[in-house]
Structure formats: C-alpha cells, structure tokens
Amino acid sequence: MTRPAPFDEDQGGRGLPSDPREASLRILHAVDTRSAFSDRLLDGAHQRPGADGRDRALLHELVKGSLRWRGRLDWALNSRIHIGLDAVQPWIRNILRIGAYQILMLDRIPMHAAVDESVKLAHKYGHPGSAGLVNSVLRRLIEEKELIEWPAGDDVESLSVWGSHPIWITERWLERFGPESARALMMANNRPVATGLRVNALRGTREELAARLVTEGVESRPGTLSPDLLWVEGHHAPGALKAFTEGWCTAQDESEALVARVLAPEKNDRILDMCAAPGGKTTHIAELIGDEGEVWALERDKHRVSSLENTIKRLGDQCIHVVHGDGTTYEFPMPFDRVLVDAPCSGLGVMGRRADARWRKGPEVLSEMPPVQLELLDAASYRVRPGGVLVYSVCTFEPEETDHVVERFLALHPDFTLESVKGLVPDAVVTPEGTMRVLPQRDGCDGAFAARMRKK
C-alpha cells in the first residue's frame, strides 16, 4: 500500500484527484484529521479547468451529504463493525461513511458500484485486510437496508441520531425549542444548501444579474428576505461564473445580506466595519451608499487582508479603505457615523452550510465567545460619534451570544439605547425586542442575529 501524501490545502482543493469518490475521501480525511474546511476545498475543486459537471455534482453530494448525515451513518456502521467504528483508522472510517451514504441516503447510484468503488479506495488507502472489512460491512448494509429503523424517540440520544447532530447541540435545542421545532431545525441544517449571490448595486439590478446568469446557463430565483440576493440552482462555484469574476455579484447567504440593511448606511457617512474579512458586508455597505462616503475595513488576520482587498478590487468599490489591525486596540483619529461589529461566534446558525462545523465544535464555544464579542463591542462604542449607530451581528441564534451580549453591553454603556430594526428588514425576522433573528427552520436560510444601537 502506498498512501498518497496530503494535498496542499493552500491550493484550495485544486490538488485533489479527478475521481469524485477519491477526492471526497481526501476532503473528509482532511476535515477529520487536520480540521480543514470542506467548503474551501470544494470551491477549489469545482474551479479546476475541465472539471466534468457530473463529477463535480457527485463530489459535492458525497462530501456534504456524508458530513450532514454523519450521525446516522456512524450509528448504522458502528453496530455492524465488531471493533466499533471509532477503532477503525480514519481513512477507512471515511471510506465506510462515503459508501454508507450512497447506499442508505441516495437512490440513483447502483449499490454494487458504491461497494466496488469503496473497496478500491480501501485497497489504496488502507492496511492489509481493510478492503475485506469495507466489503463485508457495506454488503451487510445493503442486505439489511430495509430493516433499519432509525431512532424515533424524543429523548436526546434518539434525536441526536435521527437528526444527525452532536448530543450537546441536540440537548440545547430540545430544551429550548421542544421536540417538533428541534426536529425542524435539524432537518433544515440537513437540506441541500443553495448558493446565494448578492448583486453589486454599483453594476446593476438583481434582475439584470439574473439575466446575465441565464447567458451562462445558470438558473436563479429571487431571495425572499433580501431584495439584493438571488439563489442559484445547482452546484455552481461562484468563482467559476463570469458574472462573479466581472464583479457583478458576490457570494452571500440571505441572512448575511440583511446585516448591512440593519446598519442602514447613508451617502457621505463615515463607516467602520471592525471585523471586515472576507468582505461581504463591507462591500454591501459601500454599494448601499453608492460608493459615496468612507468605509473603513479593519481586519486583524494578515492573511485575510489580501482576500479582503481582492474582493473589493473585483467589485470595484472605491470608497473602502482597508486597515490591518486588531479591533480591540487599533486607534482611529476620527469618530464614525456608523460602526458594524460582525463578531466571531460559534457559527451554530450556519451548520447547514458548514456541515463539518457541527462535528468540530464543543459546548465550550458558548462560554469562550461572549467575552470576545463584548470586548469588541466595548472598543466599538468609543468609535461611534454621539447620535451615531452601532450594529452587532453574529451568525448564530444562541442566547449566550445574542441577547445576553447585548443586554450586558447596554448595562455597561448607558449612553447607548437599543433601536428597533423594524422597517429595515422584513417583519418576519424582527423579534418583540426589536432585534433581528433569522432561524433556518422558519426562514429557509442560515441563522443569524443583529441588534441596532444608537449612541445618545
């Protein structure tokens, strides 16, 4: 056995094998063993010259599906492996998951092909005897497929397997939302996620973008919450689209595209985005003010600064000034009319899009992130001019990172008051308190939260 060396993740998946099953294995192994991000690797793989559309679709399906349904797949596999799935080496564990996903969750792939291709991978990536294990376990799955009864109870363990989410997340949502809504949320996270493209208003309208996409053979539909966004049908890497490379749009979820609307920037404003990379919200702000004003994009991570600058250049925004610095310590000589703190968070609202995140994070993230978020808000408060606006946003809907952070901030800063977002975003996502909360199971997109505060 000669196991291939790990591919260079800095190449964004472009060094992956052309065979979709082998490429999916390499991605899943990188996610498991090196905490790689599947989205980034898939995007790079999809942009390879000459990539076959069917192979691209199968690769996307195998990676995303195996990650979303890992809880169910592992439950089915574990009881059919005498040493247990955890004792199996990572390469073989992920070969089994890919094979099981094709057998149990897909109906258009011949089962013998799923087994045969998995056995070939086991010969290439496993130890002696691994191929026999893969062959016997997957054939047993085929024989017993119709007899499998997924756990259906409302207890945490059963719901965790049924909905394919870790125990700690299942427990939280079961207590907070109840069984019915928790199930709906899990299923929303397990649905295939469409690609959102936000039109660059400096180039044209959403309708004009849709027409340009048609010329590339890409169908789309308007977003329901954001007036700026189109949902693209099928597996299209944004970077491979001419409309994207020519600056007509940028990739963004519908919930993300609402945040700049909450900020409600006006022409000639001086605006600060304190956590700017990768630039989706920064460029949206510039577009909403017609590129007339000042938008300062602050980013702490040096490596992400270049990505931010490339996004700005591609979209042609002239009013954005990029600054490399830490939002908690960087000093600006002038105040700002509006400040956005799109803070780092647990990301529990985007686990449908980033399926690998649910298996990477633990409950400690909900105690680690609020102090960071509050520190950023505290620093931002001194940069807002009297009468100016401060917006706090996160891609989660957990109370510890949303309402509790805002309540704590307002208690520490009586010179700020909470202002309702009603009228700025659709009423469906406005809470009784006047904040924005987007829920995947209700709104059909990523989960998110935003609060708008004004300095007295």
Separation between Cα atoms, residue 11 and residue 309, nearest integer Å? 19
Residue 7: DSSP 8-state: P
CA 300 to chain CA centroid, nearest Å:
21
Residue 425: DSSP 8-state: B
Closest CA to 97 of 83, 79, 85: 85
Q: How many CB atoms lie within 10 A of CB 335?
A: 15
CB–CB of 272/259 below 8 Å?
A: no
Separation between Cα atoms, residue 209 and residue 215, nearest integer Å? 10
Tokens representing 379?
Answer: 């620093």
Q: How far is CA 335 from CA 261, 374, 404, in A?
A: 21, 20, 27
Q: One of 249, 319, 345, 395 is an active-site residue; which one? A: 395
- Is 395 catalytic? The answer is yes
Closest CA to 244 of 175, 310, 327, 318: 310
CB–CB of 147/127 below 8 Å?
A: no
Residue 319: DSSP 8-state: S
End-to-end CA distance of the chain: 69
Q: Which residues are catalytic?
A: 395
